[in-house]
């Protein structure tokens, strides 16, 4: 069963699911995914089997996709100055969300809070 959390980014609520490496959604035509952002469902999938540093990097990466989408930004058309402005405006939020979700996910199961709704603004 997925470990599911919910966060709000701008005006969209996103579900973040920590899934098994064998989850079929993590198998793409170009290989295995460490993480995946499904925009149409406001869903982020992160593999639970990754080493902690890689899981945290993957979570930050996928949250960056979600922030771009939530604020209506097109990452494909951004130039260097746009990227710097984006990082300056949103990086603190992305890192805070990722670190909070990572901490919650990596706690022993008996110590986990029942929800992460406190992260929803």
Asked whether residue 9 is assigned to any structural domain, the reply reads yes
pLDDT of residue 13: 97
Separation between Cα atoms, residue 104 and residue 9, nearest integer Å: 18
Question: Is residue 120 in some structural domain?
Answer: no
Q: Which helix (H) or strand (E) holds 79?
A: none
* Residue 8 maps to a domain: yes
Residues of the domain holding 51? 3-113
**pTM reported for the whole predicted model:** 0.82
pLDDT in tens, the chain (121 residues): 567 899 999 999 999 999 999 999 999 888 899 999 999 999 999 999 999 999 999 999 999 999 999 999 988 889 999 999 999 999 999 999 999 998 888 876 444 433 333 344 3
DSSP label of 109: G
Most distant pair of Cα atoms in the chain: their distance = 46
Residue 21 to residue 50: CA distance in whole angstroms: 9
Is 62 contained in some domain? yes
Q: Is residue 119 one of the residues assigned to a domain?
A: no
Number of domains in the chain: 1
Q: Are 2 and 17 in contact (CB under 8 A)?
A: yes
Residue indicated by tokens 């089997």: 49
């Amino acid at each position: 069963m997925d470990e599911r959390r919910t966060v709000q980014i701008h005006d969209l609520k996103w579900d973040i699911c920590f899934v098994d490496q064998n989850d079929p959604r993590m198998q793409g035509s170009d290989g295995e995914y460490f993480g995946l952002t499904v925009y149409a469902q406001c869903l982020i999938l992160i593999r639970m089997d990754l080493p902690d540093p890689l899981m945290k990097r993957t979570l930050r990466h996928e949250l960056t996709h979600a922030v771009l989408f939530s604020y209506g930004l097109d990452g494909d058309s951004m130039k260097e100055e746009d990227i710097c402005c984006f990082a300056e405006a949103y990086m603190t939020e992305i890192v805070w969300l990722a670190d909070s979700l990572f901490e919650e996910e990596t706690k022993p199961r008996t110590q986990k809070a029942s929800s992460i709704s406190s992260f929803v603004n």
